[in-house]
Structure 1
Amino acid sequence: MKTFSLFILTLLLTHFGVAQSNFTSKVIGVGVVVADVDKSVDFYVNGIGMVKTGNFTITEDFGKRSGLSNGVAAAVTILKLENSPEATDWKLMSFGKKASHPKPKYIQDDTGMQYITIQVKALQPIIDRLTKMKVPFLGSTPTLLNDKAHFVFVQDPDGNFIELIGPLN
């Protein structure tokens, strides 16, 4: 009976106590189609402070076979918050055309992925870079969140909203 109870306990702990993952990575890579990849890379690298970590090409053949682009080739530029395997891939690609829908003014203006949140060590250097680039700040930002953090809200060149959260200095 003791062996049977131990067996049942082991089964229960294995089934309920330890979550098994079906994923080979704990990060999600995000692909963003942009109108002008150079303008977007400039915004994210020189404004936000991301780093360029790589690139690859989606060939016409792969685009068609995969259903990704119906046979249209595209270059993809990979950006990250830091160059490490644990950092999310922010993959920018362009097909050389503007969006077919209007640029949102507020996050409720459209459905789908509308914003990303980036936690930063110091907001002021980013604010300074974005100001120099003439990127408009939305609302009354920076907005105080608590005694340690402020909130800054901007849009990238294609209208994707970016929340920046952290201390000013």
Structure 2
Amino acid sequence: MKHFIIICLLLTTTVGLCQAENEFDKSSISIGVIASDLKTSLDFYTNIIGMKQTGEFPVGDTLSKKTGLTNGVAFDVKVLKLHDDPNATEYKLLSFKNPKSKSDTYINEGNGMRYITLFYKSLDAVIQRLKDNNINFLSEEPTHIPDGRRFVLVQDPDGVFVELIGK
């Protein structure tokens, strides 16, 4: 009987732990970024950085107010991913045609979402696209990091820092 109670307690604890680990419906997150100019940011992230637009959806004025996202302002969302995979992290771009925010020089000079990191097999193609589009490098181009990979730091059109790491 004692062993039966111990086994039941272990099973209950294990089931409880499994439920806590499986609380989320997806294993990735979606990141929403408000751009001052949606077209310019979409071009930067797709044509220069190399993300893929995998979807888009509208949020109407009524829904935006009910959800508390805006005070009734409708908007469209462009969904970007590194790979067109249902489990991939979503980078959602949207715009309210707000003026471009002040661009800071370093990530420690502001709060909120400040940077993203993207990992490439090789940085050669993205470095060439950055140069072809006159995107300023904030790092030495590229910086070699201790693990043998290269690192490049740039900013998107609204000043979000974008770290690029790869061979």
1:93 aligned onto 2:90? no
Q: d(CA) in 2 for partners of 1:73 and 1:62? A: 8
Q: TM-score, normalised by structure 2?
A: 0.92
CA contact (8 A) 1:34 1:98 kept: no
Q: d(CA) in 2 for partners of 1:93 and 1:154? A: 20
Aligned positions of 1:48-87 closer than 5 A: 48-87=49-88
Q: Could you say which residue in structure 2 is the equivalent of 1:102?
A: 102
Q: Could you say which residue in structure 2 is the equivalent of 1:156?
A: 156
Q: Could you say which residue in structure 2 is the equivalent of 1:7?
A: 8
Q: TM-score, normalised by structure 1?
A: 0.91
Relative to 1, partners in 2 of residues 1:58 and 1:7: Cα closer, same or farther, differing over 3 Å? same
Runs of 4+ in 1 over 6 A off after TM superposition: none
Q: d(CA) in 2 for partners of 1:163 and 1:91? A: 18
Q: Could you say which residue in structure 2 is the equivalent of 1:25?
A: 26
Give identity over the alignment, percent. 40
Q: CA deviation at 1:25?
A: 0.6
Gapped regions of structure 2 (runs ≥ 5) = none
**Count of residues paired in the alignment:** 166
- SS of 2:111's equivalent in the other structure is coil
CA contact (8 A) 1:36 1:94 kept: yes
Q: Could you say which residue in structure 1 is the equivalent of 2:137?
A: 137
**Which is further off, 140-149 or 111-120?**
140-149
Q: CA deviation at 1:16?
A: 4.8
Gapped regions of structure 1 (runs ≥ 5) = none
The CA RMSD over aligned residues, in Å, is: 1.6
